[in-house]
Amino acid sequence: MIELQGLEKRYGDSFAVRDLNLVFAEGELTALLGPSGCGKTTTLRMINRLIEPTGGRVLLRGQDTHTLKPETLRRGIGYVIQQIGLFPHLNVAQNVATVPDLLGRPARDTERRVDELLDLVGLSPAEYRFKKPAELSGGQAQRVGVARALAADPPVLLMDEPFGALDPLARDKLQDAFRDIQRRLKKTVIMVTHDIDEALRLADRIALMNAGELAQFGTPDDLIHRPASDFVRQFLGEDAALRQLAGRRAADFAHPGDPAGLPTVDAQLDARSALGIMLREGADALAVTQAGESIGILRWSDLQTIPMQPPISIRDEVT
């Protein structure tokens, strides 16, 4: 879907981004991960040409973005900027409606869409529609920023630390909600973050950057179990595997099997806690239950590989 070929940005004598080659697959969420100042924002902004590269090119569905008018390109790509950047003179609804307006969508549809999106990011439309950005908390503003990027239903979303200003609880909720939206709508998302947990939790693939260059590109599993360098290992930390489990539900790992005599865990419990229960109980398998009924069993060995999609479909309670 989006392909970076030898992408480079140079400021004076120093490189902000250097020889970056990456393919972001359609419908996947890729995290751009790395320490502060490693060039994540620069990379993201070169994709929608807010920054013009000094070398290399960006292909969008095989087409060089350089052949497109920047405005046209940007209107088809949702963008959540790091500083939120709501328009202070417009209210929440008007902020969210900006891109549909630019695209000339009918006002009535847009109005409905605005309410839908506000609901989606957990802000009650009735209460927040007419508030001005100055009346919002940092986290609320950030959610409006996410809604605004989604408003025109773009197939591609670029997000620069979209959940940075939220408290851990709200962040977890919004992250879950967002992952569901993304899975359901099959958006291609590139999300900048320096939060490892966030990347492990949300991303299908992670591009780990260091000092402007790509350190490793792969699934969270690849990075954890097959780190390409010491930097990757150190950046993720020795407990990366555990942190990865913390971001998944026990149900994601469950397989059909006989639950008889096994300690039970709830399907919504995170996998790390499930592992803790195995250690405590001295068991090497657990029965996974949902609403009292067994939906499968979870073995010790199942936890060693993270499934991309849950093998067993479960009823979704988090939205």
Partner 1 sequence: MTSSSLTAARTGRRRWPWGVLLWPSLLLLCLIPGVLPRLLAPLNLGELTAFDPPLWRLTLTHLGLVALATGVVLGLGVPLAVAVTRPGRVALRQLAETLVGLGQTVPTFAILALAVPALGFGWKPTLLGLIVYGLVPVVSNGIAGLQSVDTSALDAARGMGMTGRQRLLRVELPLALPVLLAGVRTSTVYNVGTATVGAALGAGGLGEPIINGLSQQNTALVLVGAVLSALLALSLDAVLGLFAPRT
Partner 2 sequence: MSKPTPTGAGGNRPSAPLLSVTKNAVRGDVPQVLVLAALPLLAGAALPWVLLRPNRLAPGEYLRLPPALLALMLVLALLPLLAARFLPRLTWLAAGLAVVAVFWVVGLQTRCALVGQAEFARASAAAGVWLSGLGALIAVYGAGLLLVGRQKLLAWAWVPAVLALVWAGHLSGWSVLVEARNEGPRWVQELAQHLRLVGTALGLSTLIGVPLAVWAAGRERVAVAVLGLANAIQTLPSLALLGLLIAPLSALSNAFPALRAAGISGIGVAPALTAMTLYALLPILRNGVVALRGVPAGAVDAARGMGMTGRQIFWRVQVPLALPVWLTGIRQAAVLLVGVASVAALIGAGGLGTYIFKGLQSAAADLILLGAVPAALLAIGVDAALRGLEVWLGRRFGRVG
Ligand X SMILES: Nc1ncnc2c1ncn2[C@@H]1O[C@H](COP(=O)(O)OP(=O)(O)OP(=O)(O)O)[C@@H](O)[C@H]1O
Among the candidate windows 27-35, 52-60, 181-189, 271-279, which touches partner 2 by CB under 8 A? 52-60
Decide: is 41 part of the binding site for Mg ion (CB under 5 A).
yes
Any contact of residue 93 with partner 1 (CB under 8 A)?
Answer: yes
256 binds ligand X (CB under 6 A): no
Question: Is residue 291 a contact residue for ligand X (CB under 6 A)?
Answer: no
3-state secondary structure of 6: strand
Token readout for 245 is 């489990």
Counting contacts by CB under 8 A, is residue 110 touching partner 1? yes
Inter-residue contact 58 to 65 (CB < 8 Å): yes
Residue 180 CB coordination number (10 Å): 14
Backbone angles phi, psi at 59, to 5 degrees: -110, 130
Query: Among residues 12, 88, 106, 168, which is the contact residue for partner 2, using CB under 8 A?
Result: 12
Does 90 help bind partner 1 (rule: CB under 8 A)? yes
Q: For Mg ion, which is the closer residue by CB, 17 or 245?
A: 17
d(CA 210, CA 93): 38
Contacted entry of Mg ion, ligand X, partner 1, none for residue 37, CB cut-off 5 to 8 Å set by kind: ligand X
- What 3-state DSSP class applies to 249? strand
How far, in Å, CA of 227 to CA of 213, rounded?
A: 16
DSSP code per residue over 37-73: TSSHHHHHHHHTTSS--SEEEEEETTEEGGGS-HHHH
41, interface contact from partner 2, Mg ion, partner 1, none, CB < 5-8 Å by kind: Mg ion
The backbone region for 88, taken as left when phi is positive above 0, alpha when psi lies in -120 to 50, beta otherwise, is alpha
Instruction: Please choose which of partner 1, partner 2, Mg ion, none residue 84 contacts, taking the beta carbon within 5 to 8 angstroms, the exact cut-off set by kind.
Output: partner 1
What three-state secondary structure class fits 99?
helix
85 binds, among ligand X, partner 1, Mg ion, none (CB under 5 to 8 A by kind): partner 1
Which of the residues 31 through 90 are near ligand X (CB under 6 A)? 34, 36-42, 82
Distance of closest approach, residue 233 Cβ to partner 1, in angstroms: 35
Closest residue by Cα to residue 295 from 263, 260, 257, 268: 257
Interface with ligand X by CB under 6 A: which residues? 11, 16, 34, 36-42, 82, 194
Interface with partner 2 by CB under 8 A: which residues? 5-6, 8, 10, 12-13, 18-19, 21, 52-57, 64, 66, 70
